[in-house]
Amino acid sequence: MSSTCKYLIPGLEKGLQLLLLLAQQHRELTFAEILRLVDMPKATAYRAIQTLVHLDFIEQHPRTGAFSLGRKVLSLGLGYIASLDLTQLGQPIIEQLRDRSQCNSHLVIRDGRDIIYIARVSGAESKINHVSVGTRLLAHRTSLGRMLLSGLSREEFDALYPDDELPDDAGSKQAFWAMIQADRLRGYVIGESFYRRGISSIVYPVFNRDNGVEAVISIMVPMDTIPVQERQRLQNEVSSAAQKLTEFIGGMTSAKAI
């Protein structure tokens, strides 16, 4: 957004800054913490927060007084997700994948440093905890995020992660870059679930018409309890689903390196 726009509404701009701050922090914030993180006068921040609380865009914890995103923000996010052509195209594909694999299946995109689950279906016999639509996780902490980040150039990657170390003491940026380059060349990721030990995600990329990684499709599999030949079949199912969605959005199904 241009900083010279003549038509800005300052109060609205401040309110949106506060919502973005709470979304980026992934936790409740006290008023003092908010003031340290935003560039606005105390009175302005207080009025903006109280307005957003009144409208249910921000919630205040009744005991601690800390602030977090409210239900109205979720409704906006789900409305946006529902409007995406990718979701509409991908939903029947991951349903077919679920039917063929009997596993929880997901369609996920990247938003900055986060991944967002935009569609999901549960396997009929699956006892694995499911992930809700709209869930955001840190990209560098998940196998799905690794596959999504593999579509970045080095310049884009450095802009996204400017420090030498990854956030949350997750290790060296250079080592992580090497890992996602290996993922890119391999063309898929199999990694242990963020949620439960012994459960792995099989992840394949969905390419757009510019040959970039638009999304990923994944299933969650109890890898230690299934035979090797069945693992290969499941990989093939996920790969086929990702290729099908790639075709639907006009991407190149033969793309493996970006």
- Are 10-73 and 84-248 the same fold in CATH? no
The one-letter amino acid at 162: P
Cα distance between residue 206 and residue 241, in whole Å: 9
- Across 162-179, average pLDDT: 82
Residue 107 has pLDDT above 90, yes or no: yes
The highest-level CATH class for domain 10-73 is mainly alpha
pLDDT score of 248: 84
Q: Which CATH superfamily is domain 84-248 in?
A: GAF domain (3.30.450.40)
Q: Cα 250–254–256 angle (5° rounding)?
A: 110
Cα distance between residue 59 and residue 49, in whole Å: 9
Q: What is residue 41's three-state secondary structure? A: coil
Instruction: Give the CA-trace dihedral at 196, 230, 148, 107, to 10 degrees.
Output: -80
The one-letter amino acid at 42: K
State what percent of residues in the chain have pLDDT above 70. 88
Cα distance between residue 213 and residue 204, in whole Å: 10
Q: Report residue 191 as tokens.
A: 């990694």
- Across 238-254, average pLDDT: 87
Residue 127 has pLDDT above 60, yes or no: no
State the SS3 of 49-113: HHHHHHCCCEEECCCCCCEEECHHHHHHHHHHHHHCHHHHHHHHHHHHHHHHHCCCEEEEEEECC
Among candidate residues 124, 152, 137, the one with its CA nearest the CA of residue 201:
137
pLDDT band at 255 (very low <50, low <70, confident <90, very high): very low
Q: Is the pTM of this model over 0.85?
A: no
Mean pLDDT taken over the chain:
85
Q: Give me the residue spans of the domains in the chain.
A: 10-73, 84-248
